[in-house]
Chains A and B, each alone.
Chain A
Amino acid sequence: MNGLCKDHFVEYFEETVKNTIEEYGLIKPTDKIVVAVSGGKDSITLLYILNKLYDNVEGLCINEGISGYRDLTLEKLRGFCKEHSIKLNVHSYVEEFGNTLDHYMGLVGKFNAKHPENRVNLKPCTVCGIFRRYMINKYSEGFDKSATGHNLDDESQAVLMNLLKNQIPILARFGPMTGVDNDSMFIPRIKPLYFLSEKEILTYSLIKGFNLIYNECPYVPEAFRANVRDELNKIEKETKVKKNILLSYLKISKDLKEKYSQKVEKKYCTKCGAPTNRLVCNRCEMIEKLNEMGANL
């Protein structure tokens, strides 16, 4: 609790959110905000605070179909939204694509077992990231801002991951507000918990008595992120570096964005018409890959 009593911790936490919103111009008072919410502590906390601060706030949950995880968090999320009178919109992979993430990852596993010579390196987080982003964008239509519960840990990990993988053009897109684009098909994505750690968010949610399931997505241990997260936590124990990573990044992000922003004419996916900087968008490319494994999307 950063050496604070519970009341002062809550005050510190909420002030940090307000300051981030103000300093980075994340929300206008009249904005209609949709919070992409999973039912975990980060997004629930964000939904709670934004609903407390603003009038037009709704939740949007994408049910990927992860057995033993999303079904449990979704149940808690429904209860939370009912208790706090927040409108919740739920959309699933099943209704959008025809089946669950578990099913698609099962197909990848079967394909790789059958064709070891042509093994496909398709991680669940990659499939999920592309499909979720597509659905969040689709079902955020009509809102001014789409808010996510990304926190200090997520963002410092992301900066390091992109440096380690030499992905500077991707790194250039990060920050408390992303997706700022003249294309009306995208709405700006905001991260009001940008400067708050997972530890602080859990502390806040416990003090507030949110009735949540504090579990981890079963697919996370497969991710490169888990390694970066663990190493970063080891360093953080000795020297506080996470916030410094973000502060350093923010000092150079304007230059990075200028250098790597898409100054070329915006293209549209030749298959689905969605805005993209490629011939075929990520979602359509992923559908093609999964269909090759028998997904029938």
Chain B
Amino acid sequence: MINVFVEKENKSLDLDYSGNFIDLAEKVDVNLETVVCILNDELVHESEQISEGDKVKFLSVISGG
């Protein structure tokens, strides 16, 4: 099980998943153009692999006004 947090929607969910951020983004309907990927509080590439027990965050790039 991994924990996924989508900042823009303030949505947190637990998923059975292993793979990279690119496929995970598709699965949870997040556009990678609008986020950066955080794995266990560390900024990572979208190609980074996610494993059991990881905490994943899609941090929104849209801020300011």
- Cβ proximity bits B35-65 to A, threshold 8 Å, 1 near / 0 not: 1100000010100000000000001111111
Stretch at the interface among A89-97, A162-170, A230-238, A256-264: A230-238
Task: Check B34 against A233 for contact (C-beta < 8 Å).
Answer: yes
Sorting the interface of chain B by its residue count into under 10, 10 to 19, 20 to 34 or 35 or more gives 10 to 19
> Does chain A have a CB within 8 A of B33?
yes
**How far does the Cβ of A13 sit from chain B's closest Cβ, in whole Å?**
13
> Does chain B have a CB within 8 A of A297?
no
- Cβ proximity bits A36-55 to B, threshold 8 Å, 1 near / 0 not: 00101111000000000000
CA distance A214 to B62 in the complex (A): 8
Q: For B32, B59, B61, B65, which residue has the most chain A Cβ atoms within 10 angstroms? A: B65
> Does chain A have a CB within 8 A of B12?
no
B contact residues around A201 at 8 Å (CB): 61
Task: Check B31 against A216 for contact (C-beta < 8 Å).
Answer: no
> Does chain B have a CB within 8 A of A12?
no
Q: Could you count the A-B residue pairs with CB atoms below 8 Å apart for me: how many are there? A: 60
CA distance A42 to B31 in the complex (A): 21
A contact residues around B34 at 8 Å (CB): 199, 233
Task: Check B62 against A198 for contact (C-beta < 8 Å).
Answer: yes
CA distance A69 to B63 in the complex (A): 11
Interface size counted on chain A using CB atoms at 8 A? 32
Q: Knowing A220-B65, A234-B31 touch, does A203 contact B36 (C-beta < 8 A)?
A: yes
**How far does the Cβ of A53 sit from chain B's closest Cβ, in whole Å?**
22
Chain A interface main SS type: helix
Task: Check B32 against A237 for contact (C-beta < 8 Å).
Answer: yes
Q: Knowing A3-B45, A199-B36, A237-B32 touch, does A214 contact B60 (C-beta < 8 A)?
A: yes
- Cβ proximity bits A230-252 to B, threshold 8 Å, 1 near / 0 not: 00011011000000000000000
Select which of A38, A202, A219 is within 8 A of B59 by beta carbon. A202
Task: Check B32 against A40 for contact (C-beta < 8 Å).
Answer: no
Q: Knowing A202-B61, A219-B65 touch, does A233 contact B45 (C-beta < 8 A)?
A: no
Task: Check A216 against B36 for contact (C-beta < 8 Å).
Answer: no
A contact residues around B61 at 8 Å (CB): 197-199, 201-202
Q: For B32, B35, B36, B60, which residue has the most chain A Cβ atoms within 10 angstroms? A: B36
Task: Check B43 against A233 for contact (C-beta < 8 Å).
Answer: no
Chain B residue with minimal CB distance to A200? B61
**How far does the Cβ of A94 sit from chain B's closest Cβ, in whole Å?**
18
Task: Check A217 against B36 for contact (C-beta < 8 Å).
Answer: no
Select which of A206, A220, A236 is within 8 A of B33 by beta carbon. A236
Task: Check A203 against B60 for contact (C-beta < 8 Å).
Answer: no
> Does chain B have a CB within 8 A of A113?
no
Binding site for B on A (CB under 8 A): 1, 3, 6, 38, 40-43, 66, 69, 125, 128, 149, 197-199, 201-203, 206-207, 214-217, 219-220, 229, 233-234, 236-237
Selected A-B contacts with CB under 8 Å, 17 pairs: A38-B64, A38-B65, A41-B64, A42-B64, A66-B65, A69-B65, A125-B65, A128-B65, A199-B35, A202-B36, A203-B36, A215-B63, A216-B63, A216-B64, A217-B65, A220-B65, A233-B34
10 closest A-B pairs by beta carbon, nearest first, are A217-B65, A40-B64, A198-B61, A199-B61, A214-B63, A202-B61, A233-B33, A236-B33, A206-B43, A237-B33
